[in-house]
Structures are given as C-alpha cells and as structure tokens.
Structure 1
Amino acid sequence: MKVLVTGGAGYIGSHAVQRLLRDGHDVAVLDNLGRGHREAVEALRASSGKEIPLLEADLQDRAVIAARLRELGTEAIMNFAALAYVGESVTDPLRYYENNTAGVVSLLQAMQDAGVKRFVHSSTCATYGEPEVMPIREDTPQSPINPYGWSKLFVERVLADHAAAEPGFAYAALRYFNVAGSDPDAVIGEDHHPETHLIPVLLNTALGKRESATIFGLDYPTPDGTCIRDYIHVSDLIDAHVAVMNELDPDREDRRQMIFNLGTGKGLSVKQIIDAVKEVTGVDFPVEHGDRRPGDPPSLYADPRKIREQLGWSASITDATTMVRDAWKWFQENPSGYASQA
C-alpha cells in the first residue's frame, strides 16, 4: 500500500515509517519539522535503502498536500502530526486547536480532494479526562480536562461526522496511553525538546544531563504511593496501527469506523519505572520528592479487550525493563539526541 505518514519525523511517526517500510509498503513523510527531526528520516533512509519522500508542510497546506497525495498515489494516511504538551495547551490553546483540530480538518479536505479513503488517526487517553473507574474502556465517558484532550476529542467528532456524510471514507481513532521504548536496533529513538516523558527524563538523569529526577506525590492510594500509568512499547503501538490499517475497508460497514484503546491493560508505577531505569543503566541517580501535581489521577490504565477480540492484537511487551532497555540503547548511542547524528 502507498502510505503517507504525517508527523513521520517525530518519535512515534518515525517508528511507523520504519515498520511500514519493513512490511513492504511505499512510504512518504509529511512533517513541518517544528518538533520532528530530519535526522530521523535520514536514519531511516540509510537503514532501509529507500528514498522516503519528505514533504515539509503544515497540515493546513491543503492544496500542497492534495497535490502530493495525487502525485504519490496515496491510498492511506497515518496521522501523528500533533502538538502534545498538556501544559502548553493550557497556556496556548489556540495553537493546539489550530494544529490538532483545524489541521486535521484541512488534511481531511486534502484527502477528499485527492480521493484518499483510509485514515488512521492518533487520538489519546486524554480524551477521557479523569475517569473514576478503571480500567478505561472505549465506552468510558470522555470528558477532557485540558485543551490538548479537547483538541483530540473534537477530531474524533469530526471524523465520525465526515464518515457519516461520505460513505467511501474509513477511519480509525486510536487512543494511546503512555508510549515508551524505542526501536530495538537503535536506528531511531525518542528526542523531545523540552522533554517531559518520564522514561527519557530518567535516562537523561542517568546520563548526567540532569542533576536529579523528581517523584511528584508519594501519598497516592496505590501499592507504593506513586502514580500508576499504562505504558505501551512504541513497537507494539505501531503494530496495532498496521493491524488497523490493514482492516480498514470503505466498502464494509463494520470496517469503516474503528475506535480502540491501545495499552497493555496493566499499570506500572512511577517507582517501578525508576527502579527499572536504575537497574538497566546501572546508575543510582538521585531522586527528589515533590508534591502532587494538579490533575494527576492516582491510576490510569486501559482495557484493551476490544482490539484483542476484534483484530487479535495485544501488546507483546508489558515489562518496564524491556521498554527501558530499548530506549536506553538509543540514548547511549545518541547522548545529545538527534544532534549527535548531525
């Protein structure tokens, strides 16, 4: 299949490009490189021997994207082009609604112009807000508590309405939990600026790039007092995307709209992640204790039963050690992130 990966120079998107290439698909990337890395695409070109066309554009560049979709003969789009800092979404909500929501509307219009019928969209567990009952099912009420979550939920509404109005359109909305790990071969990895994800923060601390790490809250009603989250290895996450893309079918009513949670179905605590990082790296870095952060629920983890029953997908990696080990390999080889490759 000919697939365009938006946000394909970013952390998750680049792993999608890598997997699609390995499966024999023709892959192109669209990324404005605001937070993606040209070096990630270049690393994939070098490792795969494929050209991998890169279109530097924003999602709002409808005419440019439509022309490229026609030129490439694109049959499906995987969309990872989103801003994803919760705090930033609170201080600059218009930027998030412009990119994450209006940008997808423009992308869908470009698809319509070019006759592309399949769309796999990155949504998020942030659309659920702070659910009171665990695990989180797809029918758990969605009530976001920040503009980032709302910007993603609005897209889900847009997709449902668009699919109802255009019978030849098929889409999936995949609600992620905490993505972790990296390509086991360390061709590509995770490099955010600023870095807010727990495992990379801890690995940077182990590398000596940070003086210490902080646990925010030790008095949660959990076994060790720290927050529990559902961590899914990025390779498993992309495996689910591919499985969903392969099943989408505009001509089948039961394959035109697919909504799934993507998680392992179990949680790992902050303390468990810290212990795994110290074990894998062999570095006993200092850990400070801070107050709870507003809006941090004690536990968030998925019920992934629906995608397992319908598509036979389930996460193959559920232990913190493997996720950390895969991420650590890339961090060791690229201590300055993609700048190490420049």
Structure 2
Amino acid sequence: MAWLVTGGAGYIGSHVVRAFLAEGIPVVVLDDLSSGHAEFVPPMVPFVRGDLLDGALLMDLFADHQIDGVVHVAGFKYAGVSVQRPLHTYEQNVTATATLLAAMETAGVARIVFSSSAAVYGTPHTDLVTEDTSKSPESPYGESKLIGEWLLRDQGIATGLQHTSLRYFNVVGSGALDLRDTSPHNLFPLVFTALREGRTPRINGNDYQTPDGTCVRDYIHVADLATSHVAAARRLAADEAIAPVYNLGSGDGVSVGQIMTTVSTVTGIDFEPDLGPRRAGDPDRIVASGELAARDLDWKMRHTLEDMVRSAWASEQASAAAAPQASAGLEDGEFVHSEA
C-alpha cells in the first residue's frame, strides 16, 4: 500500500516524498507542474501529471494504485496574490480539495494529512500561537485553508474519514541538493536572487518592538516539516489517536535581521540590507508553539538558522551549476515514471 502525495513535485511536497521513501513507505505523486518540477520526483516513484479538479483522473489513479492514505500538499499558496485572484484561489484550494475528498470516499480511501497554514490565524493578538488561538484569516489563501480544514472535519463526521491538518508559517532550507524553493514570493529565494544579481536585499521596517527592531517569525526547516508529515501518516495508518490540527512551530522564532546576518555569513557576501518602509498590518512577533506536535508527531527543530540558510544556499548553488532539466511536454494524466 502506498500514500498519495498531491503536489509531490513541489518544494514541500518533494521533501515529503523523500521522507516517506526514507522510512520505506511507497508513494505515488500527483502534480500539475504549475509550480512543481518533474525532476524533483525520484525516478522510481509513480508520477501522474494532472489536475486535482479532474475527478475522473483521480478515480483512475485510485483504481490503478493501492492507496492507503493521502498527504494533500497541492494548492495555490501565494497569500498576497490570492487577494488579486480570489476565485482562482478558492478553486484550487477549496473546490480541488472537495473533489479529492469525493474521489477518496468513492475509492474507500479514508486517511488524509492536510497541509494547512498558519495563515488561518490572520494577525493573532498573542505572541505565542496555539491550536486554540482564534482563527481570523486575512486573505483568500488563509480562508481557503481554513475551509479545507472544515471539509476534512465534516467528512470525518459524515463518513469516518481519519484526518489531521498541519499548520505552519515560513518553510525554508533544503533537505537535498536537488530540491529547492523556487517560489518568486518567498524570502530566501528573493534574497538569493538579489545577491546573485548584485542587488542588496531589503527589509521592511526596523522599528518593531523586538530585540533588533525587525519582525520576528517562525522559520522551520522543510526536512523537519516533512518528518512530521510522515509521523502523522503513520499515526493515522495505525489507527492511533490524533488531534484534528497541529502547529509546527519553533516556539521562539527568529528575526528578519538575524536571517540577513546569517545569509551574509553563510554566503560570504558582505552586505547591509536596504531599509524599506514598514508594511501595514505587520505585527512585531508571531511565533507558534509546537508542543502538541512534539508530543504526537515527532516534531522538533532539528536544524539551526545557520543550517537552514546553508542548506538553502547549497541547493541554490547546485541548481545554478547544473544543466537545466526540462519538465514540459507532458500530457495531463500521463504516468511520467513507472513503478520500480
């Protein structure tokens, strides 16, 4: 029996795939390659290029593979852009999730780990977020993730679906040289791109009520995140008690200023970041407690900030040195890799 990883060719999803394989658990990947990369999927892993909105494709996939559960990582993940594209965001994150759950119900697949987001909290009025902190999302993206959690909850009541949702803030680093964050909106890629192009990275505001005046946030290593996805899947597969939601948080956070200093140290590029204006609505500090996940999901911060930056920079350098790999030319529904 295998686990289906939706979005398994993306940055987070590909690390989840590697974590499952490291534990000897077979996986199948479904990805439309809208932001993922076919080369991120190991050759021995069955890979279907397709859209979660295609219910017929999902039914074929479940018929062709013995799927024990689903790790649902696929989605439109750009909170800022979601404000300009709300309908697209809801289609990709809500309608697609409902389509997946319907196909799972028909196929008799009753376990799912959902990649949610700390965006469900909006701007919390506490500097340490727990699972019980009030939910007040401030973007269609955050709203869509909260609706996804509701869909799982309601399917659980209606059909006995076993589920859990993992919430987290900023995912960084790399667990392998051939895997990297390619998002045009995330901090590390933005900083590395600026340095490669000879520009100075910028921070937004340095007068926050924090030790160095810059915002403090949770930054977690992608490999640590992936490990807890596997732990959640194992718990579901063993029919062990599991909470409906978990925060994967650091408990203390790091500042943007600390990140910039660490990037300079790791890359050997001496720079002082440019100072931009504060962004409206940016709180001084948002950090999540990972206590519940530490109890149940083997969650811990195994990597330091320097580890995060160093691994991300190494994968960035490896990518720049490697010949480009083409991921186009595949038809939807095509099995790119065959089973080993």
Q: Same fold (TM over 0.5)?
A: yes
Confirm or deny that 1:219 pairs with 2:207.
Answer: yes
Structure 1 residue corresponding to 2:164, chosen from 172, 182, 188: 172
Q: For residue 295 of structure 1, report the CA deviation from its aligned partner.
A: 2.8
Confirm or deny that 1:133 pairs with 2:121.
Answer: no
Moved more, 258-267 or 243-252: 243-252
With over 3 angstroms needed to count, the CA separation of the structure-2 counterparts of 1:312 and 1:30, relative to structure 1, is: closer
In the other structure, the counterpart of 2:181 is: 190
CA RMSD of aligned residues (A): 1.7
In the other structure, the counterpart of 2:334 is: none
CA distance in 2, matches of 1:144, 1:234: 23
Q: For residue 104 of structure 1, report the CA deviation from its aligned partner.
A: 0.3
CA distance in 2, matches of 1:309, 1:287: 39
In the other structure, the counterpart of 2:153 is: 160
| One-letter amino acid of the structure 2 residue matched with residue 73 of structure 1 | Q
Deviations 1:107-137 (A, max 9, x none): 0011111111110100000000000112100
Deviations 1:184-242 (A, max 9, x none): x41311112xx221122222223x23512111111111111111111110010011111
Q: What is the aligned-residue identity percentage?
A: 42
In the other structure, the counterpart of 2:338 is: none
Higher relative contact order, chain-length normalized (CA < 8 Å, sep 6+): 2
SS at 1:143 equivalent = coil
In the other structure, the counterpart of 2:310 is: 325
Q: For residue 248 of structure 1, report the CA deviation from its aligned partner.
A: 1.1
Confirm or deny that 1:299 pairs with 2:285.
Answer: yes
With over 3 angstroms needed to count, the CA separation of the structure-2 counterparts of 1:115 and 1:39, relative to structure 1, is: same
Q: Which contiguous aligned blocks of 4+ residues in structure 1 show a shift greater than 6 angstroms?
A: none
How many residues are aligned here? Answer: 326
Listed as ranges, the gaps of 5+ residues in structure 2 are 327-340
CA distance in 2, matches of 1:303, 1:237: 14
CA distance in 2, matches of 1:152, 1:23: 28
Listed as ranges, the gaps of 5+ residues in structure 1 are none
Deviations 1:55-92 (A, max 9, x none): 11111111211221121111111111111111210001
In the other structure, the counterpart of 1:270 is: 256
TM-score with structure 1 setting the length: 0.91
In the other structure, the counterpart of 1:340 is: 324
SS at 2:116 equivalent = strand
| One-letter amino acid of the structure 1 residue matched with residue 70 of structure 2 | I
CA distance in 1, matches of 2:150, 2:70: 18
CA distance in 1, matches of 2:319, 2:253: 29
> Would you say the 8 A contact 1:3–1:77 is kept in 2?
yes
With over 3 angstroms needed to count, the CA separation of the structure-2 counterparts of 1:126 and 1:339, relative to structure 1, is: farther
CA distance in 1, matches of 2:151, 2:297: 24
Deviations 1:122-159 (A, max 9, x none): 00000000001121000000000111100100111111
Q: For residue 284 of structure 1, report the CA deviation from its aligned partner.
A: 1.4
CA distance in 1, matches of 2:296, 2:26: 27
CA distance in 1, matches of 2:198, 2:252: 29
TM-score with structure 2 setting the length: 0.92
SS at 2:324 equivalent = helix
